[in-house]
Structure 1
C-alpha cells in the first residue's frame, strides 16, 4: 500500500496534539509495512528537501513561506506540482490531516484516488463559529473536504455526535478510531505533595481560568498549593491569565513556563502531584493519556472525548466548568496519597490499551477498506 500523507505538523514541526497524532499514525503504519510519503511545511527551512524516516517514510519538507503557501495558508498547487512532478502518481490513498493541503489533495486525486480525511477537530466547533471572513472560509474548506472525502476518520464518539448533528449524511462513510500513544520509559515518582501541572495550549475553552479559580478556593481554605502551566497561547490571553492569578493573590503560586520540549514535558509530569486537564470542551484528550502512560495521576473534566479516555476508575473526574467540583478533586488529590498511587496504577493500565501497536490492526483494516 502506498499512501501520500498531507499534514501541517509532523515530527519536529509539531505544535500540539495534532502533530503528536500524525507522527504516531505515520510511524505506526510504517512498522506494519505501509509505504508513505509525507508532505509537511517546515518553519526552519529556507529550501525544500527530502529526508527519510523509519523503514520506508519519505518526507518532503516545504519552507513555510509565501512561495509555497498562499491565502489562509493554502498550499500553492501549481508551484508544488511543477517542482515535484513525482507527486503525480498512482497512490493507493491520499491521507489528509490538514485543510491547508486540500487543493493538492483534490488535484492529485483527480476524482479517482480515494481521500481519507483524519479530523482532529471540527474548526467551526472549536472556534465557536466566529464570523470573521477568514475563519468562515476555513470552515467551508473543511466542510467541503468532509463532503468530498471517501472516508472520514474521527477520533472520538463525541466528535461523531457532533458530525451527526451537523452532517448526518456523512455518517455511513465515518470511522471512529482513537488516537494512540507511545509508552515512555519515564515514570511518575510520588513525592511532590502540592505541585499540580497543566500542559497544553493556552486557549479559553481549555478551562485554565477554572483551574486558577479552583486554586483560589483551595488557598482560601488554608492550603498552599502550586500550579505549573506549560504551554503557549496568544500574548493577550496569557497576560489575562497572569492578571487573573495576581488578582486572586496567587501570583507566587501560579507559574508559566511557555512551550517546552516533549522530554521536558515528561519530566514535569514525572514530578507533579497530578496532571490537571480542565477543558470545557475537548475532541479527545491526548495529554491525559500521555500522563496516564507515565503513571501520573489525572484530574480531568468530563468534556467530550476526555470522558472516553479517562473514566472515574482511572482518574479524578469533574463536570466540565464546575469550579467547585474541580476544587474538591484537587483537595482529594492532596489528602489521599493512597488514592494517587491507585490512580497511577489504574491510569497506566488504561493507557496501555491505546498503545499504537495495539491500534495498528484497526487502522490497517480501515485503510484496506478505503483502498478497495
Structure 2
C-alpha cells in the first residue's frame, strides 16, 4: 500500500515517545514492502533558510521534513498558531508530492488540519492514532481556553477519522468516552520495541554506575518528560521512606520538561536534594548504559496512555516498578514482569521499591520475564502488519458537517 503518515515529531526531532513510535512503524512497514512517505517538520525555531524543506529516503522511508514558515511563532507561547502554521506547511508539501497515497495516517491532534485536508484532497481513508488526550493529561479537567481548544481538535480528529487506533485498551475506553465514538471503530495496537538497541558493553555499564553511584549505593532511575502527569514528584516524596530501609539510595531523573525547577524544589522540601540527580536529556547510548546500571526503573505516572519507557527498561533487563496508570497496567504485570502500585500512592511506591532492593533474585526473575514478553506481545514487525490490516480495511465513510463539541464544565471523566 501507499501510506502517507503525518507526525509532528520524527527522529532526530523528538519530544516524547511519539517520534520513536512513528519511526519504528514507518520503517517496519517499508521493510514489509509498503510505499511509505512521512510528512514531519524541521526543528522549531528554525526557518526555510537555516533548515529548508528536505525530501530524502531514509531506511526505506521517503521522509519529507517541512521548513517552518517565516512567522515568529513559538511552540511554547503560541501553541495553536504554531500548530496551524506547521499544518499549513505540511498540507502544501503533501499536495506537491507527485504521488497519491492509498491511506493517510495521522498521529495525534497536532496534524489534524493537514491530515483531514490531504485525505479529502486525495479521496482516501483517514486513519488516526490517538496517542494521548488533553483531558487525560490534566486528570479530566479542561479549565483553560488552551485545554478546550486542544480537546476540541482531538474530538474533531476522532470523529472525522475513518478508523481509529489506540496503544492500549485503557486508551480505547478513554477515547470512546471523551469523543463519543463507538469502540468498534477503535483498534488497539500496542507500541513495540526493538530489544537489540538497548544492549551495551559491560564497561559502559560500569562507567555509568561509577558516575551516578560512586559509593555503590542503590540506584533508581526515572526517564521521560518532566511533567506533572509523569509523577516524578511522587518518587521524590517516597525517597525518604526508601532511604530509611536502604541507606544512601539515589535517584537519577533523566529528561527535560516544564516542571524541572518545581521538582528541584520538591527534592529540597523532602530533604533529598543531594540524593536526586537531574541528568537532563541523555543520548541513547548513555541512557542505555544508565538503564543497565540501575537497580530499578521507577515509573510513577499519574497518566500514561501506554508507557514505552517500560518496554525500554524491559529490553535493558532492568527491574520495573510502575504505577497502574492507563496502559502501564497492561505493560507491567504486577508480580510477573514488575511491581505495581496505585497512581499517587506514595506508601505503595516506596514499598514496591523496597521490595525490589530487598529481594534481588525475585527482581531479576521478573525482569527476565518482562524481557521475554517483548518478543511476543510487543514485536514491531507484528504491530506493523496489524497496522497494515487496519489500512486495508479502512473505507471512506460519509462525513456530515461537525458542530463544535460540548466542553465539560466539570471533570470530563465523571
Question: TM over 0.5, yes or no?
Answer: yes
Q: Specify the SS of the correspondent of 1:197.
A: strand
CA distance in 2, matches of 1:78, 1:22: 21
Q: Specify the SS of the correspondent of 2:57.
A: strand
- CA deviations on 1:17-38 (whole Å, 9 max, x unpaired) are 1111111111111111111111
Question: 1:36 — aligned with what?
Answer: 36
State which drifts further: 225-234 or 65-74: 65-74
Q: CA deviation at 1:284?
A: 0.4
Match of 1:60 among 64, 83, 98: 64
- Pairing of 1:247-286 with structure 2 (within 5 A): 247-286=269-308
Question: 2:410 — aligned with what?
Answer: none
1:370 aligns with 2:394: yes
The alpha-carbon distance between structure 1 residues 100 and 244, as it changes in their structure 2 partners (threshold 3 A), is closer
Q: Specify the SS of the correspondent of 1:74.
A: helix
- Pairing of 1:102-181 with structure 2 (within 5 A): 102-110=112-120, 112-128=123-139, 129-181=141-193
The alpha-carbon distance between structure 1 residues 77 and 338, as it changes in their structure 2 partners (threshold 3 A), is closer
The alpha-carbon distance between structure 1 residues 336 and 366, as it changes in their structure 2 partners (threshold 3 A), is same
CA distance in 1, matches of 2:266, 2:324: 24
Q: CA deviation at 1:131?
A: 2.8
- CA deviations on 1:178-231 (whole Å, 9 max, x unpaired) are 111111251697986500000001111211111111111123446220000001
CA distance in 2, matches of 1:108, 1:88: 13
> 2:217 touches 2:250 (CA, 8 Å); kept in 1?
no
Q: Specify the SS of the correspondent of 1:47.
A: coil
Match of 1:232 among 226, 243, 256: 256
The alpha-carbon distance between structure 1 residues 239 and 80, as it changes in their structure 2 partners (threshold 3 A), is closer
Q: CA deviation at 1:302?
A: 1.1
Q: What TM-score results when the alignment is normalised by the length of structure 2?
A: 0.83
Q: Specify the SS of the correspondent of 2:5.
A: strand
Q: What TM-score results when the alignment is normalised by the length of structure 1?
A: 0.92
The alpha-carbon distance between structure 1 residues 14 and 77, as it changes in their structure 2 partners (threshold 3 A), is closer
Question: 2:351 — aligned with what?
Answer: 328
CA distance in 2, matches of 1:47, 1:153: 32
Question: 1:293 — aligned with what?
Answer: 315
CA distance in 2, matches of 1:212, 1:164: 34
CA distance in 2, matches of 1:96, 1:126: 20
The alpha-carbon distance between structure 1 residues 167 and 104, as it changes in their structure 2 partners (threshold 3 A), is closer
State which drifts further: 18-27 or 79-88: 79-88
CA distance in 1, matches of 2:88, 2:314: 45
CA distance in 2, matches of 1:115, 1:304: 26
Q: CA deviation at 1:300?
A: 0.8
Q: Specify the SS of the correspondent of 2:66.
A: strand
Q: Specify the SS of the correspondent of 1:13.
A: coil
Question: 2:400 — aligned with what?
Answer: none
- CA deviations on 1:145-167 (whole Å, 9 max, x unpaired) are 11110001111000111123234
Question: 1:202 — aligned with what?
Answer: 226
CA distance in 1, matches of 2:358, 2:29: 44
Aligned pairs, how many?
369
Structure 2 alignment gaps of length 5 or more: 74-79, 210-215, 397-414
Structure 1 alignment gaps of length 5 or more: none
> 1:68 touches 1:80 (CA, 8 Å); kept in 2?
no
The alpha-carbon distance between structure 1 residues 340 and 303, as it changes in their structure 2 partners (threshold 3 A), is same
Q: What RMSD, in angstroms, separates the aligned Cα atoms of the two structures? A: 2.4
CA distance in 2, matches of 1:268, 1:262: 10
Match of 2:367 among 312, 320, 344: 344
Q: CA deviation at 1:306?
A: 0.2
Match of 1:48 among 27, 47, 53: 53
Q: CA deviation at 1:84?
A: 6.4
